[in-house]
Structure 1
Amino acid sequence: MGHIACEVNDGVARVRLDRPGKLNALSLEMLRDLAVTARRLRREPAVRAVILSGEGRSFCAGLDLKAAAGDPGGVARAFVPTWRGTNLFQEACWAWRRLPVPVVAAVHGHVLGGGLQLALGADLRVTTPDARWCVMEVARGLVPDMAGIQALSELTGLETAKRLTLTAEEFSGTRAVELGLAGTASDDPMGAAEALAATIAQRRPEAVRAAKRLLNGTWPRGPLATFAAERAAQLRLLPGALRR
């Protein structure tokens, strides 16, 4: 599928950005393919976890602005929101949050702009210590608009999200872990992601899906709403757990 490769083995889907000559910079076609791939995986019950990664020297160097400038009509169409409440730029990243199964991003090299926002669309992130992270849009006269504002503030808190966005400062993978943008630093992020996905794939799939739905659905809510959601999810799972 263009510059997005996807294969499924042993319950784990491996989705790879495959445009290494451009540091996996995102074209409009790649954005469409990312959204389509996520929707397809959503319908595959055998998939228990997903790994997002990039081929070559980088995870993703952001949006390919030069290519986008050559297709103004395509860019205009990509800005139109759909019934999901997202436009194409946002859906390419947020579609991974919509998956019922956990998504792990294994990142290295450049994690810039739209690439950072794509990584934040995953549930979990593993990064090389020396990866180059940057919320770079303001440096280009833009704002993060690929669902990154929502994810960034969730993970770091509002003040840190503002500082990273407004300064467009570059920081390392080690620092990304310190800031809460990634959970683990590893010299072999793909190996670490594989191990994490394999562990998740061994768990009861109904419980994993319910846990992701519960965590995503209650994060911005108060404790009483969270407690009610916990009870509802557990009541659905309890009969099956007792029969195991």
Structure 2
Amino acid sequence: MQDRVTIDCQDRVATVTLNRPDKYNGLDLEMMQALVAAARRIRKQRGVRAVVVHGRGKAFCAGLDFASVMRKPSRILAGFLPWWRKGNLFQRLCLDWRDLPMPVIAVTHGYCFGGGLQLALGCDFRISSPDCEFSIMEIEYGLIPDMGGSVTLRELVPADVAMELAMTGRRFGAAEALDLNLITRIDDQPLTAGKDMARALALRSPDAIRGIKRLLRSTRHGSERRALRRERQLQLRVLLGSNQREALKARNEKREPEFRDR
């Protein structure tokens, strides 16, 4: 069996490829486990400063491969059990990318349905091809969006919009996804654009990049006082690090900075 997910690291960027093109990268249990394993491997890999997640073939991800998963229903129940405290298998395969310290860019094309859309929403940025189709289609199987959608959707769209999309399961295009704030931007060459963005982010201070992600993630729903306190804490940590001094020195000397990975 070919690897469900592959990882290629170059120029401090990890490119993660969903590798089941004959099934439009549909999520079977092996694919789900491989996505969780890939996120955990990248977390431990020193030197990775940005991540690109994309699908091989004609689609990003067509969602749950229901026929494959239902061949062994007991394995579905098992997927709910191991991680009650920090989310189960189905939730972690999306939210583990959100929880990585470095920025993660999803590149979507073709189909981005169900669990595939929830995976994309778990990333920090989403760059889409103009012809990509989206849907929160769990309702077609009599299900709710249970792969972290309750966390990511509320951060991006109003409650009534989230409910309308989840309750109808309707398909919509990239232009509407952009209007709804579900994607970051549209590009005719989304994979190239995603990799270019990742390489640009990888050239910045990793301390500052990680600090920005941590700050904006941790203060999204808190009070103003808590946000300002967190801002001070993280800025002090950055100021005490060697990478901030290197950024300032390189700027004054008009050269590219040489940052250290921690």
Fold in common (TM above 0.5): yes
Task: Deviation per CA, 1:75-111: give whole Å up to 9, x if none.
Answer: 1110115165210000001000111100000000000
TM-score, structure 1 normalization: 0.97
Aligned letter for 1:227? L
Partner Cα separation in structure 2 for residue 102 and residue 131 of structure 1 = 22
* Alpha-carbon distance between aligned partners in 2 of 1:161 and 1:145, rounded to the nearest angstrom: 13
Distance 2:40 2:163 in 1: 31
Percent identical residues: 41
Look up the match of 2:252. none
Q: Secondary structure at the match of 1:50?
A: strand
Map of 1:5 onto structure 2: 6
Aligned residue type for 1:170 = R
2:103, 2:84 → 1: CA distance? 24
Q: Does structure 2 conserve the Cα–Cα contact (< 8 Å) formed by 1:130 and 1:173?
A: yes
Contact 1:52 1:103 in 2 (8 A): yes
Q: Tell me the SS of whatever aligns to 2:178.
A: helix
What is the alpha-carbon distance in structure 2 between the residues aligned to residue 184 and residue 81 of structure 1?
A: 36
Q: Secondary structure at the match of 2:240?
A: helix
- Distance in 1, matches of 2:14 and 2:245, equals 30
| Runs of 5+ unmatched residues, structure 2 | 249-262
Q: Which amino acid aligns with 2:58?
A: R
What is the CA-CA distance between 1:128 and the residue it aligns to?
Answer: 1.0
In structure 1, how many angstroms separate the alpha carbons of the residues matched to 2:44 and 2:215? Answer: 20
Instruction: Point out the structure with max Rg over C-alpha.
Output: 2
Where does residue 194 of structure 2 map in the other structure?
A: 193
Match of 1:112 in 2: 113
Distance in 2 (CA, whole Å) between partners of 1:83 and 1:142 is: 20
Bigger mean CA deviation after superposition, 72-81 or 32-41: 72-81
1:17/1:53 contact within 8 Å kept: yes
Q: CA deviation at 1:6?
A: 0.7
Contact 1:126 1:185 (8 Å CA) reproduced? yes
**Residue in 2 aligned with 1:216?**
217
Q: Deviations over 1:54-84 (max 9, x none)?
A: 0000000001111111111211110115165
Partner of residue 79, structure 2: 78
**SS across alignment from 1:94:** helix
Normalised to the residue count of structure 2, the TM-score between the two structures is 0.90
**What is the SS of the residue equivalent to 1:111?**
strand
What is the distance in 1 between the residues matched to 2:104 and 2:96? 11
After superposing the two structures, state which structure 1 stretch, 73-82 or 91-100, moved more: 73-82
Helix, strand or coil at the partner of 1:8: strand
Per-residue displacement from partner, 1:132-171 (whole Å, max 9, x unpaired)? Answer: 1001111221000000121012111211111111111110
**Partner of residue 132, structure 2:** 131
Q: How many residues are treated as equivalent by the alignment?
A: 244
Q: 1:125 to 1:165 in 2, by over 3 A?
A: same
SS at match of 1:219: coil
Q: Structure 1: how far apart are the matches of 2:58 and 2:88? A: 29
- For 1:61, give the aligned amino acid: A
The 1:145/1:81 distance shift into structure 2, 3 A limit, reads: farther
Contact 1:48 1:201 in 2 (8 A): yes
The RMSD of aligned alpha carbons is 1.2
State the Cα deviation string for residues 12-34 of structure 1 (Å, max 9, x = none): 00000011100000110110110
Quote the residue 1:59 is aligned against: 60
Distance 1:196 1:20 in 2: 25
Unaligned 5+ residue runs, structure 1? none
Check if 1:37 corresponds to 2:66: no
| Matching residue's letter, 1:125 | R
- Amino acid in the other structure paired with 2:175: T
